[in-house]
Amino acid sequence: MAAKICHHQPPSFPSSFTNNNLSKKPSSLLLNNLHYQTPSFKCNLSSSSSSVITTDIKEPSPVFTSVKTFAPATVANLGPGFDFLGCAVDGIGDYVTLQVDPTVHPGQISISDITGTNNLSKNPLYNCAGIAAIAVMKMLNVKSVGLSLSLEKGLPLGSGLGSSAASAAAAAVAVNEIFGGGLGELDLVLAGLESEAKVSGYHADNIAPAIMGGFVLVRSYDPLELVNLRFPESKELCFVLCNPEFEAPTKKMRAVLPKEVTMSHHVWNSSQAGALVAAVLQGDCVGLGKALSSDKIVEPRRAPLIPGMEDVKKAAIKAGAFGCTISGAGPTAVAITDNEEKGREIGEKMVEAFMVGGNLKAKASVKKLDRVGARLVSSSSK
């Protein structure tokens, strides 16, 4: 099969429930056509509020005293796929080190250290990694163990490379692994969505590929259904990432988007998104780049807010890129090619265009597709 499908149908719940708690393990999961049941839960996975679940799941014991995890950067939207298409890129991302800490109150987590930035709170209730970690602890019904978390930021904030999702994904996987890895990918995506909802909005096109790796299609949000699109391993694919010294907060960049679109733009973007999915499954870099460059709804609203972006796109394509668009909410520009050396040449032209067209310094790098997603890097046993 070319695609792996995960879905979750939320059952009904009593109206007397509040929305103060984070989500727990869903009641069923379909993954690679293997269906299994978990203990009965009551939940609400509405996109407009936090999830609430009650469960009698047995609390697991830690299998490690400490773990270190990594989650990759992601490129969301991919042009016409606003909020429903994204992919993971290798070589850059965030690390989380998590350890059992007897000085932390049982059932709670503390953030002991953050490196790579001075602009994040150590309060776990206001930190992407902390929110996701708490969500997984609640899913697992952890009440007897306290945890301490250290976050190493490898991604700049507000870069359009899924910085918040990388932190959330690494933290979610860390908590899951330290207790034996009992949760599946969909559970971890749901935990990450708790974090994304509080930081930048309820969208899974960063957190899903950060956890699952590769290309991911969000087929539905209610119920949450994810499709892993497999780009052929025999084909070369390179992402040229050009990041200017400019911050584009996701909430601000979402605020400029139109609330309504014309039927002609809807049809156009739908056809381009379909073409992009087909190109991914076929390993067609030329078709992927063409579709990625063709958004008529989101990019036209956001590009003018990023100095030089329109010039950068033109420069990338003139230099031989198959396509170019804004990565996520920006300001990073992403171009597609199938050759690493050619990618470096394209990156140089994109850097020049940011300076000439936007008076912004920028750095370019060439990355491959990360097919793995968030993973355990190391562990220490009891």
Residue 343's φ and ψ, nearest 5 degrees, are -60, -40
Marked catalytic residue, from 177, 185, 196, 299: 196
Whether residue 196 lies in the annotated active site: yes
Distance between CA atoms of residues 195 and 190, nearest Å: 9
Is 257 within 8 Å of 301 (Cβ atoms)? yes
Marked catalytic residue, from 55, 97, 250, 337: 250
- Cβ partners under 8 Å of residue 30, min gap 6: 5, 6, 7
Distance between CA atoms of residues 94 and 156, nearest Å: 10
Q: Name beta bridge partners: 35.
A: 30
Cα 190 to chain center, whole Å? 11
Instruction: Provide the 10 A C-beta neighbour count for residue 58.
Output: 9
Cα 237 to chain center, whole Å? 19
SS3 of residue 226 by DSSP:
strand
Which H or E run includes 96? strand 85-100
Residue 223's φ and ψ, nearest 5 degrees, are -80, 160
Q: Name beta bridge partners: 326.
A: 333
User: How far apart, in Å, do the first and last CA atoms of the chain sit?
Assistant: 40
Whether residue 348 lies in the annotated active site: no
Instruction: Provide the 10 A C-beta neighbour count for residue 222.
Output: 14
Distance between CA atoms of residues 375 and 131, nearest Å: 18
Instruction: Provide the 10 A C-beta neighbour count for residue 54.
Output: 13
The burial of 251, by beta-carbon neighbours within 10 Å (0-12 exposed, 13-18 middle, 19 or more buried), is given as exposed
SS3 of residue 312 by DSSP:
helix
Q: Which residues are catalytically annotated?
A: 196, 250
